Structures are given as C-alpha cells and as structure tokens.
Structure 1
Amino acid sequence: MMNGATESLIRWLLVMVCCPHLVRSPYLVAKLVEVLFVMCPDVLVHVKPLFMRVISHPMAQQHLSSSLMKFYADVETTGSTTEFYDKFSIRYHINMLIHSVWNNSVHRLAIIKESRTKSP
C-alpha cells in the first residue's frame, strides 16, 4: 500500500513531466524522464509495483504518453552544448518507457492517438 508521501511524489513527478511549460529546462525534464525510466520493469524488476502505480495514475493515463512523444521530438533542440549526444540517451529512455507502457490498453490508445496528430 502506498502512503501519502509516495502518492504526492508520483503526482509531482507526473506534473513535471506532463506539463513541460512549468519547467523551463529541458535538461531537468530529461532527468525526470530518466527517473521514470529507472522505474521501468525492464530496467529494475523489483520496482514494477511502483511503476504500475505511476502509469495507472489518472494524470499518466491522460497525458504521459503524449508528453513523452512530444518531448522525444523537442529534445532535438535542448539548448545544451552536448545536445547532439544527449538526445540519444534521452530518446532511449523515452523509447523504453513507451515500450513499458505499450501493454496497457489506455496508454497504447494514447500513443496511437498521439502518433496520428499533426505537429504544428
């Protein structure tokens, strides 16, 4: 059973990743995506219950997949002097996250829906 502090941390993490306009630094968003990546069952099996809790959160179900896909594209211009190399590790983390949520039908539909939208 998750306590209130864990729920608050999950909510904060999702807000920071799913609302990029709140965080000006793409580097910070990339680090938060990396935190989610470390929670992937493909990376660490014993944290699967926590990962399942994160992806079943209503905010994650509504916004996480599309936010990750948008950040995947936005990472092309992070503003960092090492952006060329950074984007590969960031995109790897995002790929693993998308792979990990693909079996969840809500996230799969969100990924499909986002892939059909046209970028401005």
Structure 2
Amino acid sequence: MKRTRGGFGAGDRGLATVWAAVTTATLCAVFVAVLALGQVVSARHRAGGAADLAALAAADQALRGVEVACGAADEVAVAQGAEIVRCDVEGEIADVTARVRFGPYVPEVRSRAGPPEELPPPR
C-alpha cells in the first residue's frame, strides 16, 4: 500500500518536534525566571536579618557613644555576610541600613531598634 501526498494532515509532518522544542524552551525560561526570583527573595531576607541584628547590637551599645554602637553593628553585619551602609544613633535608638551582595543582586534594608515605648498606666 502506497501513501499519497495530498491526504489529510500531509502538511503537518514534523510539527510535533517543533512544538516540543518550543514548549521545552518556554519551560526552561520560566524555570530560570523562578530561580532568579528565588535568589532575589533570599538576598532580601538575608539583608533584612543582618539589618535587624545590627540595629539591635547598635541599640544595645547606644549609651556608650555612636562610634562604639556603630562598631558593634558593623561586627554583627560582617558576621552575617553583610555590610553597613548607614548607621545613625540618636539617644537610645539606632537606625541602621545594611547591604548584602548576592550575585548580581545588592538589596539594602533599613532597620531601627531601641527601647520599647512606655505604655500608659492601666485604668
């Protein structure tokens, strides 16, 4: 039995290979985008944790002076794999901005720490 060239679907030969290649390329692109987004989120969380801990360390040493407080913040940030971009201490309140380098991403996070506000007396 011989195949005829003009039958139903004769112009679709090899189309499944093209669709498979396009689908595979699209799925790979989506996978790369999801991985990149995960790296961005991870870098942001690392910067946030480092900024929070550095601000707490600076607030703990705030009464000893700005240099001592910011030195403590810098020590903690370096231990977390971050660097201090800005450190400001006013009274007992520390305001610290930390940066983490994670591949091409360099998020900066600001954090404040100090004593809790006093609550009004109960009625």
Give the number of the structure whose alpha-carbon radius of gyration is greater.
2
Whether these two folds match at TM > 0.5 is: no
**Shorter-chain TM band:** under 0.3
Compute the TM-score of the two structures, normalised by the length of structure 2. Answer: 0.27
Which structure dedicates a bigger proportion of its chain to helix? 1
Q: Which has the higher contact order (CA 8 A, sep 6+)?
A: 1
